[in-house]
Homo-oligomer: A and B are copies of this chain.
Amino acid sequence: MSLNLDESLHRLIHCYKSEIKNAITESNLSLHVGHIRALKCIQRIPNCSAQIISKKMNLDKSQIARIIKELQTKGHIEKHPNPDNHRSQLLVLTEQGKQAIDTITTLDGETSLKMTNGLTEQQIHDFKHYVEIMTKNLCA
């Protein structure tokens, strides 16, 4: 039986958040976990928009709107008009944003490495696969 599976997950996420948060603050990047997640999304997805982030992160669009506004204020991203959709805005990283992402990627890599210590590539791969299956099962 999958006893306490959920509780284990809660704890893992909690630890991961703390870890990332500490790493970020130590690098003098005044960003939250939410900002980080959004930035990574923007970096990863070409022609990214608020709506896309919202779907990718399973978060309410209002929260995304606020995160984006903050990232824009901080000078990490810019909003460009989308030629294909007048209502949508393309989110683009500024130079500063790219630098931030670089720092984040490094920190994130260290954290991931620390987190997955003792697991083989295959096990990590499987793990990720299981996570995806479970997510699909819930948010179909």
A137 to chain B, nearest CB (A): 5
Q: How far is the CA of A110 from the CA of B74 in the complex (A)?
A: 44
Interface size class of A (residues with CB under 8 A): 35 or more
A116 to B, closest residue via Cβ: B2
Task: Render A122-140 as a binary contact track against B, CB cut-off 8 A, 1 for contact.
Answer: 0110111011111101110
Q: When the two chains form their complex, are residues A124 and B8 in contact, meaning their CB atoms are under 8 A apart?
A: no
* A:97-140 near B, CB below 8 Å: 108, 111-112, 114-119, 123-124, 126-128, 130-135, 137-139
Q: When the two chains form their complex, are residues A7 and B119 in contact, meaning their CB atoms are under 8 A apart?
A: no
Asked if A11 lies at the interface with its beta carbon under 8 angstroms from chain B, I say yes
Interface residues of A (CB under 8 A from B): 2, 4-16, 18-20, 37, 40-41, 44, 56-59, 108, 111-112, 114-119, 123-124, 126-128, 130-135, 137-139
Instruction: Give which listed residue, B12, B44, B124, contacts A135 with CB less than 8 A.
Output: B12
Q: How far is the CA of A108 from the CA of B89 in the complex (A)?
A: 40
Q: Which residues of B contact A12 (CB under 8 A)?
A: 9, 131, 134-135, 138
Q: Which residues of B contact A14 (CB under 8 A)?
A: 57-59
Q: How far is the CA of A40 from the CA of B11 in the complex (A)?
A: 14
Q: Which residues of B contact A15 (CB under 8 A)?
A: 58, 135, 138-139
